[in-house]
Amino acid sequence: MLNFDFQNKTEIIFGKNTEERVGVETAKYGKKVLLHYGGGSIKKSGLYDRVIAELKNNNIEIFELNNVKPNPRLSLVNEGIKICKENNIDIILAVGGGSVIDSAKAIAAGAKYDGDVWDFFLKKLLVTDALPIGVILTIPAAGSESSSGSVITNENGWYKKSFGGDVIRPKFAIMNPELTYTLPAYQTAAGGVDIMAHVMERYFTNEPNVDFTDRLCEATLKTMIVNIPKALKNPTDYNSRAEIMWASTIAHNNLLGTGRLGDWASHNIEHELSGIYDIAHGAGLAIIFPAWMKYVYKHNMEKFIQFATRVWNVEYDYNSPEETALEGIRKMTSFFKEIGMPVTLEDAGINNEKFEEMASKATEFGPQGNFVKLNKQDIVEIYKLAE
């Protein structure tokens, strides 16, 4: 097990009706808030009106910026930075899922920086200051509600890049599973795959003797395998929605990554896919993860056998241990398909014309991955396996 420092200062406020606390929690950080959200869903559900009322009850001046899209755009981030600087905003309140929260994080960092916020994504410097961020989570998926990372798409060249730092970790996250009842089935499933992918990025490590976090990862994955179908079958099942929502946070607050070095190749390979084709991140991961596994499993077959037997209940094949590993990959792929996700590029209507471009962008700053280092040609081969 590796040495590690672990802290997560996000206050989690979990359960029914917890959005009623948003005014009190926001007021702890100031009296001017930028309310950041996506489209019209929070207005249709009535959540918008409840949030506005609670903020006004606490004498908070409200500025708004909506229209966050999936794979959030740099242009909107820059618009938010301008609002924050011109109006001396005290805190950003993100109401939505990972795209809204990631956009809020980039705005929060840019509001305290005199240069171009894209500098953080290009790794020109580390983020050291940011406005405080609060969250009301409506889509459990990205885990951005208590993570230290942000992913943004730059429309100039359609680059999808990430940056991170503890200063952009939200101060509080209000998490009411009831707010997820109205999510479309596709979004529920895509979010579930994203949660599972966050776990698997940490699970596949070269670090030995990480039994405790292995078991935590496996428990989180098995929880998702049980509860995603339940939520799809009965969207108002509070218990399954609660399990998924809490798993989304645990999967990406780095508790599961303590003492181990995660991989993250699949995420970065997928970023180029959704950056160009604008598909849901979770759907892209459902395509890329099986292909990545097929490409790298021989590097540490014992880990993939463990994944197959412990997570997917595959019976160990003593005559062909490799078949055990492959059956685990097949079981995972079948599960993704059963919950309505694409599992090939063909399923998503994507051809091979941009493989070289995507692989070049993915390796712009060097090889991807820690489990196995992948160069440009490796990534092209993974895209081919995903066809």
Averaged over 45-74, what is the pLDDT? Answer: 97
Look at residue 110 in the predicted model and tell me its pLDDT.
Answer: 98
Look at residue 357 in the predicted model and tell me its pLDDT.
Answer: 96
From 360, 385, 167, 147, select the one nearest 268 (Cα to Cα): 360
pLDDT at position 242 over 90: yes
pLDDT at position 22 over 90: yes
pLDDT in tens, 195-205: 999 999 999 99
Cα first-last separation, the chain = 37
Look at residue 218 in the predicted model and tell me its pLDDT.
Answer: 98
Averaged over 303-329, what is the pLDDT? Answer: 97
pLDDT category at 40 given cuts 50, 70, 90 is confident
Average pLDDT, the chain: 97
Look at residue 137 in the predicted model and tell me its pLDDT.
Answer: 98
What distances in angstroms separate CA 73 from CA 39, 70, 151, 217, 244, one per listed residue? 14, 8, 9, 32, 27
3-class secondary structure, 125:
coil
- Looking at the DSSP bridge assignments, the partners of residue 65 are 36
pLDDT in tens, 150-170: 999 999 999 999 999 999 999
What are the tokens at 350? 């994507």
Interatomic CA distance for residues 282 and 387, integer angstroms: 17
Averaged over 66-74, what is the pLDDT? Answer: 95
Interatomic CA distance for residues 2 and 13, integer angstroms: 31
Averaged over 27-46, what is the pLDDT? Answer: 95
Q: What is the pTM of this model?
A: 0.94
Averaged over 216-232, what is the pLDDT? Answer: 98
Residue 366: how many other CB atoms lie within 10 Å: 7
Look at residue 142 in the predicted model and tell me its pLDDT.
Answer: 93
From 201, 195, 225, select the one nearest 213 (Cα to Cα): 201
pLDDT at position 271 over 90: yes
Look at residue 329 in the predicted model and tell me its pLDDT.
Answer: 98
Q: Is 85 exposed, middle or buried (0-12, 13-18, 19+ CB in 10 A)?
A: middle
What distances in angstroms separate CA 31 from CA 11, 60, 92, 93, one per listed residue? 20, 5, 11, 12
Give the CATH class of 183-385: mainly alpha
Count Cα neighbours of 107 within 13 Å in the Cβ-side half-sphere: 39
pLDDT category at 39 given cuts 50, 70, 90 is confident
Domain boundaries, the chain: 11-179, 183-385
Averaged over 214-243, what is the pLDDT? Answer: 98
What CATH number was assigned to the domain covering residues 11-179? Answer: 3.40.50.1970
Averaged over 22-38, what is the pLDDT? Answer: 98
What distances in angstroms separate CA 13 from CA 4, 20, 130, 173, one per listed residue? 26, 11, 22, 6
Task: Say if 11-179 and 183-385 have the same CATH topology.
Answer: no
CB 131 within 8 A of CB 112: yes
What are the tokens at 272? 């180029």
Tell the residue number behind the tokens 């001017």, with chain if given: 32
What distances in angstroms separate CA 266 from CA 126, 159, 200, 292, 305, one per listed residue? 24, 16, 10, 7, 19
pLDDT category at 87 given cuts 50, 70, 90 is very high
> What DSSP element (H or E) covers 376?
helix 376-385
pLDDT in tens, 94-113: 999 999 999 999 999 999 99
